[in-house]
Structure 1
Amino acid sequence: MPEGGGKDALVESAAFLAATDRLVVGTGIANIHFRIPTPAEGGARTLAALYPGRFVLGLGVSHAPFVEENMKGTYGKPLATMRTYLDRMNALPPEIEEGARPARVLAALGPNMIELSGELADGAHPYLVTPEQTAATRAILGPDKWVISEQAVAIGGDAEDQLRRAHTHIGFYVPLQNYRNSWLRQGFDESDLVPGGSDRLARALVAMGSPEQAAASVTAHLDAGADHVVVQILGDRPTTDPRPALRELASVLPL
């Protein structure tokens, strides 16, 4: 789950883990500007100790407007900021929750952050990327690190409604420079970075059409080298129940 909605992702993870027996829960992503490194690492280790193999700690540097305007903080160079943060996490003494360490992945879009996710983490969690970018991430990380790509999905309703939901989703991210840079690296251009995103950008990043067509977009990331694909169902509101659409996808994947 994300952390942009005002809830603490680690606390929310603990609630989901406590209420389930098999579910693997990941933070996608926990904002490193929200918490200092030591309790972030300690809290993550506690969840790993309580729920072995069921918690994945996803970390990210967030975006300058969120940090500087909403938090009144300082948004430094993302790569250096993340490296320093991870070094401080790793400095927590090993006897704290000895032997318990969650899998750690980074919200990595650019090549340097992807490389860091292989150096100081267990892999990368790319967001709003094409299967081609998943393949590029795999190529940088090699065969032994995790690639957990996200795929937004808009199914149900007619084609016009699906495209509307895709533009609403993409539109939130278009003003953010980290994503704009990522899309330019992926082969899009400034004409795609209009409010709401161009139709080309929306169709490339959001799986639409029938459940079978959407499932093909999910499997394209797996074929490109992803270990796992996080499916994000786009409804009319952020609180729309995703389970009916997830069941449709599960039936055609098949799961």
Structure 2
Amino acid sequence: MTTGVALSATDTVNQIDATVQLAREAAAAGLTSAWFGQTFGPDSPQLAAIVGREVPGLHVGTSAIPVFGRHPLLVSSQALTAQAATHGRYHLGLALGTKLLTETGFGIPYERPIARLREFLTALRQLTETGSADFHGELLTATTPIPARVPGAEDGVPLLVAAMGPQALRVSGELADGILPYLAGPRALGEHIVPALTAAAEAAGRPAPRVVALVYGVVTDDADAVREEAAGQLAFYEQFPSYARAIELSGARRAVDVAVIGTEREVAAEVQRYRDAGATEVVFSGTEIAGDDDRRRTWALLGELATTKG
């Protein structure tokens, strides 16, 4: 059982230097993994590779690269390089992305996302496991006229998907090593997400998948004020159907309702609920929302929980 943290260091002179420093603090607090988002800023696999080299022993992951606007050959190159740089401590997360960011940012249509995810994963697994590919799908082609292997990354890369809907869970169970659900509370995990994922993996004859639950939360004595601030930050996600469905299945009305905000005892109890619901790993995001003191309190608690069994 592991606990980790999503790192964000945007308000700084040098984002890379600041992120490395945060990662050192996370490792010192006993956290076992650090995860990095992918938007239009820093390249997440490259950032993970740097952090993994600078902070030995800390697992690093991308959460998550959208499959639109990317190609399996390029993503494989990034991931295998990060895996070699970290000596096997890199974890690659993929996502369907959103229509808004795909069409606005890349100027390409957001069409057939599940079919694209299936083809992307199929080609990517060939590349990460063998260093070559000969894949010809409806939406993607990935072939390797010259080798694509990266010495030092022969064991491949764990492939995770930010999946929560039935179709994405089915594809992930069949082709990925696990999932990265966000804003899905224990009820949604235990009653809907984990059973669907597990059934798909079993039907495909694959091992039990990882469930890396991404949880927005922080330890604080000023829960009401922090919750109000978090409500504004998280409202963005409520416009997207996959998040809205996960929130509803969690028994909540708004995204902030599934945030974990409170004292050490309250937060620890919620982490246990995620474990009981089937999360193999719990990763907190948004821990910086209430300032450095509460962030450090949160990391200290999560570090302690990393050594306890659920």
State the TM bucket, normalised to the shorter chain: 0.7 to 0.9
Q: Which residue of 2 aligns with 1:151?
A: 215
Q: Which residue of 2 aligns with 1:140?
A: 196
State the distance in 2 between where 1:165 and 1:45 align: 38
Greater relative CO (CA pairs within 8 A, separation 6+): 2
Note the alpha carbon deviations across 1:55-78, whole angstroms, 9 max, x for none. 100000111101111222221122
State the distance in 1 between where 2:193 and 2:271 align: 16
Amino acid in structure 1 at the alignment position of 2:90: F
CA, structure 1 residues 247+86, in 2 after alignment: closer, same or farther (shift >3 Å)? closer
Q: TM-score, normalised by structure 1?
A: 0.85
State the SS of the aligned residue for 1:56: strand
In the TM superposition, 1:98-117 aligns within 5 A as 99-117=154-172
Q: Is the 8 A contact 2:223 2:262 kept in 1?
A: yes
Amino acid in structure 2 at the alignment position of 1:202: V
State the distance in 1 between where 2:306 and 2:211 align: 21
Amino acid in structure 2 at the alignment position of 1:52: H
Residue 248 of structure 1, CA deviation: 3.9
CA, structure 1 residues 10+26, in 2 after alignment: closer, same or farther (shift >3 Å)? same
State the distance in 1 between where 2:273 and 2:249 align: 19
Q: Which residue of 1 aligns with 2:238?
A: 174
The answer to whether the aligner puts 1:54 opposite 2:108 as a matched pair is no
CA, structure 1 residues 5+165, in 2 after alignment: closer, same or farther (shift >3 Å)? farther
- Of the structure 1 ranges 239-248 and 162-171, higher mean CA displacement relative to structure 2 is found in 239-248
CA, structure 1 residues 163+74, in 2 after alignment: closer, same or farther (shift >3 Å)? same
Residue 229 of structure 1, CA deviation: 0.5
Q: Is the 8 A contact 1:154 1:166 kept in 2?
A: no
Identity %: 26
Structure 1: 5+ residue runs without aligned partners? none
Structure 1 vs Structure 2 CA RMSD: 2.5
The answer to whether the aligner puts 1:94 opposite 2:130 as a matched pair is yes
CA, structure 1 residues 158+58, in 2 after alignment: closer, same or farther (shift >3 Å)? same
Q: Is the 8 A contact 1:233 1:245 kept in 2?
A: no
State the distance in 2 between where 1:63 and 1:179 align: 11
Note the alpha carbon deviations across 1:163-188, whole angstroms, 9 max, x for none. 21330232121122331233344455
Note the alpha carbon deviations across 1:210-238, whole angstroms, 9 max, x for none. 1210121112111111110011134448x
Structure 2: 5+ residue runs without aligned partners? 1-35, 132-148, 199-206
State the SS of the aligned residue for 1:174: helix
- Of the structure 1 ranges 209-218 and 170-179, higher mean CA displacement relative to structure 2 is found in 170-179
- Of the structure 1 ranges 5-14 and 46-55, higher mean CA displacement relative to structure 2 is found in 46-55
Q: Which residue of 1 aligns with 2:271?
A: 218
Amino acid in structure 1 at the alignment position of 2:60: V
State the distance in 1 between where 2:250 and 2:91 align: 27
State the distance in 1 between where 2:262 and 2:82 align: 38
- Of the structure 1 ranges 206-215 and 153-162, higher mean CA displacement relative to structure 2 is found in 153-162
State the distance in 2 between where 1:83 and 1:229 align: 26
Residue 127 of structure 1, CA deviation: 0.7
CA, structure 1 residues 219+5, in 2 after alignment: closer, same or farther (shift >3 Å)? farther
Residue 13 of structure 1, CA deviation: 1.0
Amino acid in structure 1 at the alignment position of 2:229: R
Q: Which residue of 1 aligns with 2:138?
A: none
Q: Is the 8 A contact 2:219 2:294 kept in 1?
A: no
State the SS of the aligned residue for 1:38: helix
Q: Which residue of 2 aligns with 1:247?
A: 299
